[in-house]
């Protein structure tokens, strides 16, 4: 669980990936960000790659899968 509580008018999700190397500088693996409008019914559900034409959950070297449920 990442968040448990009440989201006001919007819910923002941001995840950054970093590859931690022992001998090389750390590499950024991209950033995932999405803002949901909580005033409309599209907030709840499962989100992941391959469900939209331009899919924000496909970050390139990695993918994001998550579910937002009504509490």
Burial 13-39 (b: 16+ CB within 10 A, else e): beeeeeeeeeeeeeeeeeebeeebebe
Give pTM, 2 decimals. Answer: 0.68
With CA atoms as reference, report the closest residue to 45 among 36, 32, 33: 36
Distance CA 45, CA 40 (A): 13
Alpha-carbon span 35 to 37, nearest angstrom: 7
pLDDT at 21: 83
> What pLDDT does 60 receive?
79
Q: What is the pLDDT of residue 44?
A: 86
Examine the pLDDT at 28 and tell me if it is beyond 80.
Answer: yes
């Amino acid at each position: 669980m990442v968040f448990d509580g009440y989201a006001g008018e919007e819910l923002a999700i941001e995840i950054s990936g970093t590859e931690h190397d022992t001998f090389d500088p750390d590499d950024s693996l991209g950033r995932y960000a999405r803002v949901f409008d909580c005033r409309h019914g599209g907030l709840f559900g499962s989100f992941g790659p391959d469900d939209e034409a331009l899919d924000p959950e496909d970050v390139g070297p990695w993918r994001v899968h998550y579910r937002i449920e009504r509490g």
